[in-house]
Amino acid sequence: MERFLETVADLFDVGRKVTRIGDSVLRLLPQILSRLHILEQCPDSSQALSRLLVHLTKIVNSRTASPSRIKCALNSLCSLLGCNRDSLTWRTAMQLIVRSLSSPLPVVRRAAAEGLYENVCLTEVDDQVLLLLSETVWQDTSPTAMVSIHDAAHTVERILLMEAESSKAMLS
């Protein structure tokens, strides 16, 4: 599995220079990452997965990436939410997705909310998170809507990231 992920990461490296290859890898990546059953418990042990996570982080944080590339990267990050919640991989993916809920691009906010909802609805998660993700109009751009969007994003972040951290501390 590691060798396969190394090949995918290498293709991603090539894809930074050849957009056609990069976009193809980016569209295929969610399917690959969602089938990492071997690495789910200890995803941080995979160097290739770490490389892929760095590439995805660069795309999501890029000011020049197209919204469609960012959406593909978010889909890949959402696929990593099946990993162990105590892992750095899970935490990084969750942080990037939650931060995207406050993106200036409505299409990115909506994609982040939909992907997050699809990946956390089957887990033990606070019902308030599911309610916020499903009922907030993420693609709205009016000033009042933006205030409620940022409030919803902050609440989702607080519940998913900070409570995960506090439950981790209680187990220690």
Q: For the chain, give the mean pLDDT.
A: 89
By C-alpha distance, which of 48, 165, 45, 46 is closest to 95? 165
Average pLDDT estimate for 65-77: 95
Amino acid at position 26, single letter: L
- Phi first, then psi: give them for residue 118, nearest 5 degrees: -60, -30
Structure confidence at residue 131 (pLDDT): 94
- Name the nearest CA neighbour of 161 among 101, 105, 107: 101
Give the pLDDT confidence of 105-162 residue by residue, as tens digits: 999 999 999 999 999 887 888 899 999 999 999 999 999 999 999 999 999 999 998 8
Tokens of 70: 């960012």
80: its two tokens: 């990593």
For residue 95, how many other CB atoms are within 10 A of its CB?
Answer: 16
Give the 3-state secondary structure of the chain: CHHHHHHHHHHHHHHCCCHHHHHHHHHHHHHHHCCCCCCCCCHHHCHHHHHHHHHHHHHHHCCCCCHHHHHHHHHHHHHHHHCCCCCHHHHHHHHHHHHHCCCCCHHHHHHHHHHHHHHHCCCCCCHHHHHHHHHCCCCCCCHHHHHHHHHHHHHHHHHHHHHHHHHHHHHC
Confidence class for position 164, pLDDT limits 50, 70, 90: low
Range with the lowest mean pLDDT among 17-26, 73-82, 95-104, 146-155? 17-26
Query: Which tokens hold the place of 44?
Result: 């941080």
pTM of model > 0.85: yes
pLDDT tens digits, 30-54: 998 888 776 677 888 889 999 999 9
Q: In this structure, what token pair is assigned to residue 33?
A: 């990452």
Cβ atoms of residues 77 and 60 within 8 Å = yes
- Please say whether the beta carbons of 115 and 97 come within 8 A: yes
